[in-house]
Amino acid sequence: MENVTVTIDGVKVSGSPGTTILDAAEKAGIEIPRLCHQEGIKPSGNCRICVVEVEGSRTLVGSCHTPIAEGMVIQSRSARVLEARQATIELLLTGHTGTCVTDTEARECTLHKLASDLEVGPPRFHVKRPRLYGVEDVSPYVLRDMSRCILCRKCIRACQEVAGQNVYSMAYRGFGSKVVVDFDVPLNKEVCKDCGICIEYCPTSALMWPEGVKKREGAPTAKKKAKTAGKVTDNGTREKLLNLLEERQRTDGSLSEASLSGIAGDLNLPLSEVYGVASFYAFLSTKPQGKNVIRICKSLPCYLKNAPMIMESVSQNIGIKPGQTTADGRFSFELTNCIGACDEAPAMLINDKVHGSLTPGKIADILKSYREGR
């Protein structure tokens, strides 16, 4: 097949069909910054640092996963691109807890370097509950400080695609998202011995060698291992996972570690992946729930239709706050992103039943009926 010719920052570059913009730019000696992509793992476009402007495109595109097309005119450092990169770096810094000024590992932090190169100052944004997890020093092979994690997922992909293991997975959702091991426990896996692949790929100091531990002489590097590691493939069972989790939730009321371990074994999936899915969906619970689960939507449309009134009324009536269960086990109170009852707002969902057009008086009567088992 004939090569494809594009123009990047005024330079004509040719490449074979399927070549990404990032690879074409590197061929022309044009450096495009990136955080979540590195040689040896498949591009994902998570971080959005490598975005470029393609003439005729309404949006900026990720250069790491966008293939070149004949005649493309690409700008890698336009004002629009630089503004987007600076904003992304600023947001990442907001969730990246740590004192970079006094951190001896900061010189190895790609995020720190990019912020300096792009002249990004201290973030203007503030979070009420920063990610403060503490340092995990249980493993003799990897030191983890998840407060410094930027959720680029490189450790997950490197562990799977380069090391041929499945130690990490994503869990939870929104700002609470986290890279976890098994049931979100400290990392202490014997398969990590003499590896360090995840440390090599981590762009921050979230993953480090333990103090006094150096990579052993002759231990495989990321590039060497990338050529020999077994390919991780989907064995066709992942599509069954959510159905099994929902079924177990209905029968047991919650998803215990034992049930999640059983499902992981039945489907031949990593514990961390099963736990990640179970902890992501609001209608699944990894902790025991009350007999009646009250769910209230916390999204903006419901908030504008007086959802705070429902939350306050429920709390007053049953004496607990969101995320809690009453002492008698009769009620659990949860906030979720949607209960599918916008047309009846303000509304709440109790188990599988929607109660809409609520007032404080109606809420008191409804909860009384559940107490009395009606």
Question: CA 168, CA 155: separation in Å to the nearest integer?
Answer: 7
Confidence label for 233 from pLDDT (cuts 50, 70 and 90):
very low
| Residue with more model confidence, 57 or 253 | 57
Average pLDDT over residues 201-215: 85
Instruction: Tell me which of 218, 253, 280 is where a domain ends.
Output: 280
The Cα–Cα gap between 96 and 35 comes to: 14
Asked if 63 and 32 count as a contact pair (C-beta separation under 8 A), the reply is: yes
Q: Which of 160-164, 210-214, 287-291 has the highest mean pLDDT?
A: 160-164
- Per-residue pLDDT at 107: 66
Q: Is residue 62 part of a domain?
A: yes
Asked if the structure places residue 249 within a domain, the reply is yes
Cβ neighbours for 103, distance < 8 A, ≥ 6 positions apart: 109, 205
Strand, helix or coil at 11? Answer: strand
Q: Residues of the chain with pLDDT > 70: what percent?
A: 90
178 inside domain: yes
- Here the CATH number for the domain that contains residue 79 is 3.10.20.740
Q: What would the mean pLDDT of 261-278 be, rounded to a whole number? A: 94
Return the closest-CA partner of residue 317 out of 337, 296, 302: 296
Q: How far is CA 90 from the centre of its chain?
A: 18
Let me know whether 256 and 176 are in one domain.
Answer: no
SS3 338: coil
217 and 184 together in one domain? yes
Q: At what angle do helices 271-280 and 257-267 cross, to 10 degrees?
A: 120
Instruction: Give 109-116's long-range contacts (Cβ < 8 A, gap of 24+).
Output: 109/203, 109/204, 109/205, 110/35, 110/203, 110/204, 111/35, 111/150, 111/203, 111/204, 112/204, 114/33, 114/35, 114/49, 114/85, 114/89, 115/89
Asked, for residue 286, whether it belongs to a domain, the answer is no
- Checking if the pLDDT of 228 tops 50, the result is no
Here the tokens at position 247 are 């079924």
301: enclosing H helix or E strand: helix 300-304
Would residue 130 count as lying in a domain?
A: no
> Taking residues 181-203, what's their average pLDDT?
95
Report the pLDDT value the prediction gives residue 345, as an integer from 0 to 100: 85
pLDDT attached to residue 223 = 52
Domain identity same for 262 and 332: no
Give the whole-angstrom CA distance, residue 6 versus residue 280. Answer: 41
Residue 347's CATH number? 3.40.30.10
| Arithmetic mean of pLDDT, 280-293 | 90
- The verdict on residue 338 lying in a domain is yes
The pLDDT tens digits for 99-132 are 665 566 666 788 888 988 999 888 887 777 778 8
Percent of the chain scoring above 90 in pLDDT: 64
Q: Could you tell me which residues are beta bridge partners of residue 56?
A: none
pLDDT of residue 235 exceeding 70, the answer is no
Segment 239-245 shows an average pLDDT of 91
In angstroms, rounded to a whole number, what is the distance separating the alpha carbons of residues 286 and 246? 12
> Do residues 327 and 266 both lie within one domain?
no
For 20, the domain range is: 1-123
Enter the pTM of the model. 0.83
φ/ψ (deg, to 5) at 321? -105, 165
More confident residue, 49 or 343: 49
Instruction: Quote the number of domains for the chain.
Output: 4
Tens-digit pLDDT profile for residues 44-59: 988 999 999 999 999 9
142 located within any domain: yes
- Paired tokens of 68: 């070149």
